[in-house]
Amino acid sequence: MSLMIEEPLLKIEHLKKNFPIRGGVFGKKIGGVQAVDDVSFEIQRGETLGLVGESGCGKSTTGRMLLRLLEPSEGKIFFDGKDITNLSKQGLRKIRGQMQMIFQDPYASLNPRHTIERILEEPLIVHGVKDKEARKKKVLQLLETVGLNSYHTNRYPHQFSGGQRQRIGIARALSLNPKLIIADEPVSALDVSIQAQVLNLMKDLQKKFELTYLFIAHDLGVVRHISDRVGVMYLGRLVELANSEELYLNPKHPYTQALLSAVPIADVDYKKERIVLQGDVPSPANPPKGCSFHTRCPLAIEKCSIERPIFKEVEPGHYAACHLHG
């Protein structure tokens, strides 16, 4: 029997995004923000990859580039074995249904003047489901799938609670039977008690529909329970990536250690003193030389301000970019 190595559903290689900073009367480019700086990872079929880091570190930009909602400045994106980096608009339209996004604020992404039926019907119309009865049936099916009632179809987004609205956002994302869902802080705006319900729903749906998730969050506590592996970003770069348990028990990068030390103890097995990071995150328009974390790192040595550490495998399946680890 030959050994089959399954291809990951999504793979990105050396992805970069530079937003130009323009100035002067003629709007000439006077600088740039390196929002994403050489990020590579894979997501296996059926896997959940968590992506965490402080505000502005490039999580959403990465997520949006994966779906080609934003054009990468450099790098490659492979989806389902196909290089989609330069896929035309028409080509993209064909695969759009297979890659969907769930947003932090479902209210902002749902048209307030449309009923739930219309909101859920729209992607079906765009993708050519012409039979009205079939669409209606699908809408009811979607509502049931996310735990909403059929009598909700004629209501408007403002008539729902935050948790219910996120269920509608999820239903809409599911309408075209996607393979990959990018969830950008899907529970950050919800009450803690509701967060668990939505996370459980996402887990159930993953099993039921064999979904693959990229789950973006600030909070390491939230991603832990849903992620198989977790990647940590700092200033546009991936600084650590490991199996979720491994990352929580044995974090290698001082930045990950600091993030973990801020998570309530009951949620983390890594019981260390609280590490309070000094200073603010530097501007991505002018990142520090060497390791971009060295200006705030409690363990920095001289080399860290000079040489940028390579992102490498420090233990099997555990990657980190830190001079303290080789």
Ligand X SMILES: Nc1ncnc2c1ncn2[C@@H]1O[C@H](COP(=O)(O)OP(=O)(O)OP(=O)(O)O)[C@@H](O)[C@H]1O
> Which parts of this chain interact with ligand X (CB under 6 A)?
19, 33, 35, 53, 55-61, 218, 284
Nearer to Mg ion, 60 or 212 (CB): 60
Closest CA to 120 of 91, 157, 95: 157
Cα(231)–Cα(237) distance, integer angstroms: 10
Nearer to ligand X, 28 or 158 (CB): 28
The 10 Å CB-count burial string (b at 16+, else e) for 157-195 is beebebbbbbbbbbbbbbbbebbbbbbbbbbebbeeebb
Query: Which is it for strands 99-102 and 180-184: parallel, antiparallel or unpaired?
Result: parallel
Residue 60 makes contact with Mg ion by CB under 5 A:
yes
CB of 70 to ligand X, least distance (A): 8
Closest CA to 321 of 261, 252, 250, 218: 252
Q: What are phi and psi of 278, to 5 degrees?
A: -85, 145
* In contact, 250 and 305? CB cutoff 8 Å: no
Which partner from the list ligand X, Mg ion, none does 61 bind, CB cut-off 5 to 8 Å by kind? ligand X
DSSP for residue 286: S
Nearer to ligand X, 51 or 260 (CB): 51
Q: Which residue is nearest to Mg ion (CB)?
A: 60
Nearer to ligand X, 218 or 325 (CB): 218
Nearer to ligand X, 182 or 297 (CB): 182
The mark string for 17-56 relative to Mg ion (x by CB under 5 A, - otherwise) is: ----------------------------------------
Rounded CA Rg of the chain: 21
Chain centroid to CA 135: how far? Answer: 30
Cα(248)–Cα(20) distance, integer angstroms: 36
Which partner from the list ligand X, Mg ion, none does 8 bind, CB cut-off 5 to 8 Å by kind? none
Residue 145 makes contact with Mg ion by CB under 5 A:
no
Which partner from the list Mg ion, ligand X, none does 55 bind, CB cut-off 5 to 8 Å by kind? ligand X
Which partner from the list ligand X, Mg ion, none does 221 bind, CB cut-off 5 to 8 Å by kind? none
CB of 218 to ligand X, least distance (A): 6
Which partner from the list ligand X, Mg ion, none does 157 bind, CB cut-off 5 to 8 Å by kind? none
Nearer to ligand X, 100 or 145 (CB): 100
